[in-house]
């Protein structure tokens, strides 16, 4: 008589593969370890001892995000060691807006079939992002979900916690008419607008990801997988030396929507589009898809990934500080009183 009993592996979930994944990613998580971390990977929770000598009156600032359909590009190319950087960037840049130093990061990886070396590549990228941000990868979760995701599909989510001294939290309440907008360049599309990118470039124009594009100077896939920039270290150095009023991380919604979130009621801004250097990838999207300028600016970062708002009195010092940290800051506009909100001219 045959034995028709089933086990978890036959149902599609491989516990042994999960255990192998933990061993493979341990070296990457250890690279990010800060001295405040009290536990290692594999525990039920991560432990972090806050340094109150540096932050006597601390406020914890948290953020969570994903990478979106940029993951489709990684999966089509079978290149998985860069999207983890995007995952970290989307979270830590958000809490940086409030002046918070990222302390630790956790990830959630959901897969159709757990392949240990795939998980290792993903965590390798997350580790690199944490190193760029100066935070510790303190834990995470890997979920094998057969029947929910296809075998080669996965999704990522990230979670970060940072800290700021209460008296130095940036809320935007002190922003005033005449304050200057300092833009920090993006590395390209970052991690927003990929549904439109794929519709225009892959579906409508028929470009291939391994196709060399002269205007880009690289293949389309190389361009679209360029990781999101992480602005933590130069901006934290700026905050140590210069009085900054507010900041904005330019993600979905573009400059128009994200900058407005950092301004008090009754204030808007005028942004000089001519001051922002053209990135060929955005020209390619706009021209190929006949996408209007207004739609481009409300979908993509258009070359500016982070905006700093400061008094004109501190402008020269702020620019020097950022340049000393390797940034290429650009004055892109000013805060003003206007009913239209943020206007791109």
What gap in Å lies between CA 88 and CA 299, rounded to an integer? 21
Contact 268, 337 (CB under 8 A): yes
- Residue 195 makes CB contacts below 8 A (sequence gap 6+) with 68, 69
Instruction: Give pLDDT, residue 170.
Output: 97
Could you give the domains of the chain?
15-168 (3.30.1330.10), 180-344 (3.90.650.10)
Instruction: Give pLDDT, residue 11.
Output: 66
Contact 160, 87 (CB under 8 A): no
Instruction: Give pLDDT, residue 8.
Output: 62
Tell me the C-alpha to C-alpha distance, in Å, between residue 118 and each of 32, 112, 339: 20, 12, 50
What gap in Å lies between CA 327 and CA 234, rounded to an integer? 7
Measured CA angle at 247 (ends 123, 178), to 5 deg: 160
Counting every residue written for the chain, the total comes to: 345
The pTM for the full model equals 0.94
Phi first, then psi: give them for residue 246, nearest 5 degrees. Answer: -165, 165
Phi first, then psi: give them for residue 213, nearest 5 degrees. Answer: -110, 115
Tell me the C-alpha to C-alpha distance, in Å, between residue 107 and each of 76, 197, 324, 339: 22, 26, 32, 40
Q: Where are the alpha helices (DSSP H) in the chain?
A: 15-31, 70-77, 83-96, 116-133, 194-197, 220-224, 232-241, 254-260, 280-289, 293-297, 315-324
Q: Which residues, listed in sequence order, are joined to residue 109 by a DSSP beta bridge?
A: 142, 156
Instruction: Give pLDDT, residue 1.
Output: 44
Which sign, positive or negative, has the C-alpha torsion 114, 111, 161, 315?
A: positive
Residue written as token pair 């409030």: 98
Q: Look up residue 93 and give its two tokens.
A: 């840049």
What gap in Å lies between CA 219 and CA 13, rounded to an integer? 36
Contact 304, 314 (CB under 8 A): no
Instruction: Give pLDDT, residue 338.
Output: 84
Residue 146 DSSP symbol: B
Contact 254, 304 (CB under 8 A): no
- The whole-number mean pLDDT for each consecutive block of 10 residues of the chain, a chain of 345 residues, reads 64 72 80 87 82 94 98 97 98 98 97 93 97 96 93 96 97 96 98 97 97 97 98 98 97 96 94 95 97 95 98 98 98 92 92
Instruction: Give pLDDT, residue 135.
Output: 98
**What is the separation of C-alpha 319 from the centre of its chain, rounded to a whole number of angstroms?**
23
Measured CA angle at 32 (ends 97, 243), to 5 deg: 25
Residue 340: half-sphere exposure toward Cβ, Cα within 13 Å = 10
């Amino acid at each position: 008589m045959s034995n028709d009993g089933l086990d978890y592996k036959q149902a599609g979930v491989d516990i042994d593969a999960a255990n192998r994944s933990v061993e493979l990613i341990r070296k990457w998580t250890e690279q990010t370890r800060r001295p405040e971390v009290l536990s290692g990977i594999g525990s039920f929770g991560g432990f972090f001892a806050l340094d109150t000598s540096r932050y006597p009156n601390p406020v914890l600032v948290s953020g969570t995000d994903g990478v979106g359909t940029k993951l489709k590009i990684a999966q089509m190319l079978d290149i998985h060691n860069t999207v983890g950087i995007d995952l970290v960037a989307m979270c830590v840049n958000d809490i940086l807006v409030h002046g918070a130093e990222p302390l630790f990061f956790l990830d959630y990886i959901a897969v159709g079939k757990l392949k240990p070396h795939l998980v290792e590549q993903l965590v390798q990228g997350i580790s690199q992002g944490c190193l760029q941000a100066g935070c510790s990868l303190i834990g995470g979760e890997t979920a094998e979900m057969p029947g929910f995701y296809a075998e080669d599909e996965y999704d990522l989510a990230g979670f970060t916690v940072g800290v700021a001294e209460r008296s130095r939290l940036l809320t935007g309440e002190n922003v005033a008419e005449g304050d200057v907008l300092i833009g920090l360049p993006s590395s390209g599309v970052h991690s927003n607008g990929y549904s439109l990118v794929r519709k225009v470039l892959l579906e409508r124009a028929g470009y291939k990801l391994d196709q060399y594009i002269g205007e880009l100077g690289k293949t389309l896939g190389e361009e679209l997988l360029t990781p999101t920039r992480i602005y933590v270290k130069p901006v934290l150095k700026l905050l140590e030396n210069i009085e900054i009023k507010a900041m904005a991380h330019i993600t979905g919604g573009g400059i128009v929507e994200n900058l407005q979130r950092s301004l008090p009621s009754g204030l808007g801004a005028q942004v000089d589009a001519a001051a922002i250097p053209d990135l060929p990838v955005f020209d390619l999207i706009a021209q190929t898809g006949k996408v209007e300028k207004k739609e481009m600016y409300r979908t993509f970062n258009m070359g500016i990934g982070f905006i700093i708002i400061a008094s004109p009195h501190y402008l020269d010092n702020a620019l020097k500080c950022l340049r000393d940290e390797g940034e290429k800051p650009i004055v892109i506009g000013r805060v003003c009183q206007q009913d239209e909100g943020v206007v791109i001219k």
